Structure 1
Amino acid sequence: MSQMNKIITILFSSALFLLSCHQEKKNEKTTDNQHISVQQEESAATYKVQTLIAMEELADSAFVNLREVSDSFQYDMRYATANNFLGKKVYDCDNCWLRARTVRALIKANRDFIKNGYQIQFYDCFRPRAVQYKMWEVMPDGRYVANPKSGSIHNRGDAVDITLVNISTKEELKMGTDFDYFGKEAHYEYDQLADQVQENRRLLRTIMEKHGFKGIRTEWWHFSYIGEVYPISNQALCNE
């Protein structure tokens, strides 16, 4: 082999080596970016305020505004709008108040959803008893609205109405019906739905049950935290 050919061969080999190194670094960078993206989503489930220890030490029955302690959730608080079965706004603000034990469980559940590419979106959290009376006037059916005389778990701060949204697109997963649809199609066991819809409902319920929640038969969106039943509360929805 001539000296020139040797030089060309060496240069060509070096070029291939450098290209290979560049591609490996590019792949590493892509993997790192994906890892960072996951970390960012997971870190969204940490507290906004620097009171993690204080939050953990709160009494289970203490009320917490979820919006003030975590950035990891989405909200479509229907009763703070006219887009609900009452046809009018009945909340003065769209805060999400819940008992501390329920907040802790929701943050853990949401971390699991995030690993699957989704986030919890809230329709309703704590609900004042006065609103429960208004709901009962419109829908006096215990399958869908709790009788205000005995009160709902919502009135006690341990129930949520939720769905899931895709983290990337922010679109709601298809669940077969809208929130507060009063019909058999909203029942969890209704099976005349697309396979993907049924899978979405199963995913929602499976992870929620894993973290201490219980669903109900007639509403795919409703989950109550299992534990001591606290008294009905008049906790204010809006910050003064």
Structure 2
Amino acid sequence: MKIRILTIILLLTSLFKLWSQLPKGFSYIKDIAPSIQKELRYCHHNNFVGIPIEGYEFDVLITSTATAKALKKVQKELIQKGYSLKIFDAYRPQRAVDHFVRWARSINDTLMKSKFYPEIKKTSLFKLGYIASKSGHSRGSSVDLTIIEIKTEKELDMGSTYDFFGTSSHISHQKLTKKQKKNRALLQKVMAKYNFRPYKNEWWHFTLRNEPFPKTYFNFPIK
């Protein structure tokens, strides 16, 4: 009986490892930089669609291993200043991008408009570049993030919220307080220092330079 139970345990362990195995070159951020905080928005309801997004099956962060190692360096520097990274999104399956596209074409679905795109018509989301059929996140080396104070766990004021569709989210937006400009500058500077390039329309979005999979859009689920 003991031998049979042990055999079953070993089989279940092997199956779990197979189920949770990531493609070569990818890692869970928690395994490389466990102190980084997260709020995986697309795994829950607090996002511009208003429901969990396809492909986000579990609340974990995945990136290319090279990206995770670079984020570890960013985190180490921020911790010395009393701060921490907080990630909203990392690797994003292509099926999630497809979900966004279907949502954007459903013109009458405006559940989250007042919070995420109050001044923009949903019909303009493709034209303005907020929704696209491909995303750098699916290549595994793009991340959406901000900075929080470790003591209070509060996000630094960046002048707009994450995933807000509007000009206030642009890096060059000037109608900010001195504190907001300082906070954005801190984020941009520390990310650039460790080889991340920004995206001009989203202060929170960064992609690792010389990313390992520049032309591959992955579709494995987050689990």
The interval holding the TM-score normalised by the smaller chain is: 0.7 to 0.9
C-alpha distance in structure 2 between counterparts of 1:157 and 1:181, whole Å? 22
- TM-score, normalising length: structure 1: 0.70
1:7-40 CA-to-partner distances (Å, cap 9, x unmatched) read xxxxxxxxxxxxxxxxxxxxxxxxxxxxxxxxxx
Q: Is the 8 A contact 1:144 1:219 kept in 2?
A: no
**In the alignment, residue 156 of structure 1 is paired with which amino acid?**
R
Q: Which residue of 2 aligns with 1:196?
A: 179
Deviation at 1:68, TM superposition (A): 2.9
> How far does residue 133 in structure 1 lie from its aligned partner after superposition?
1.6
With over 3 angstroms needed to count, the CA separation of the structure-2 counterparts of 1:230 and 1:104, relative to structure 1, is: farther
Matched residue, 1:88: 51
Residue 65 (structure 1) aligns with: 28
- In structure 2, give the amino acid aligned to 1:131: A
| Equivalences for residues 62-211 of structure 1 within 5 A | 62-90=25-53, 91-137=56-102, 138=104, 139-141=125-127, 143-145=129-131, 147-148=132-133, 151-211=134-194
Question: What is the DSSP-based 3-state SS (H/G/I as helix, E as strand, rest coil) of the residue aligned with 2:100?
Answer: helix
- Per-residue deviation at 1:225? 0.5
2:207 matched to which residue of 1?
224
1:41-52 aligned at under 5 Å gives the runs: none
The alignment-based identity, stated in percent, is 31
RMSD after superposition? 1.6
Q: Is the 8 A contact 2:32 2:72 kept in 1?
A: no
Distance 1:171 1:223 in 2: 21
Aligned length: 176
Larger relative contact order (C-alpha < 8 A, sep ≥ 6)? 2
The TM-score with structure 2 as length reference comes to 0.75
Q: Say which is worse superposed, 224-233 or 115-124, in terms of deviation.
A: 224-233
Corresponding residue SS for 1:94:
coil
- Secondary structure in structure 2 of the residue aligned to 1:112: helix
Q: Is the 8 A contact 1:66 1:96 kept in 2?
A: yes
Q: Are 2:32 and 2:69, in contact at CA under 8 Å, matched by a contact in 1? A: no
Shift of residue 234, structure 1, vs aligned partner? 2.1
Q: Say yes or no: does 1:234 pair with 2:199.
A: no
Structure with greater helix percent: 1
Which protein shows a greater Rg?
A: 1
**8 Å CA contact retained: 1:143, 1:218:** no
What is the deviation of 1:236?
Answer: 2.7
Q: Matched residues in 2 for 1:70 and 1:105: separation? A: 10
Q: Cα gap change, 1:219/1:127 in structure 2, threshold over 3 Å: closer, same or farther? A: same
Indicate conservation of the 8 Å contact 1:176/1:197, yes or no: yes
Where does the alignment leave 5 or more consecutive residues of structure 2 unmatched? 1-23, 105-124
Deviations 1:111-132 (A, max 9, x none): 1111111100010000011111
Task: State how far apart, in whole Å, the 2-side matches of 1:236 and 1:131 are.
Answer: 9
Counterpart residue identity of residue 143, structure 1: G
1:230, CA displacement in angstroms? 4.4
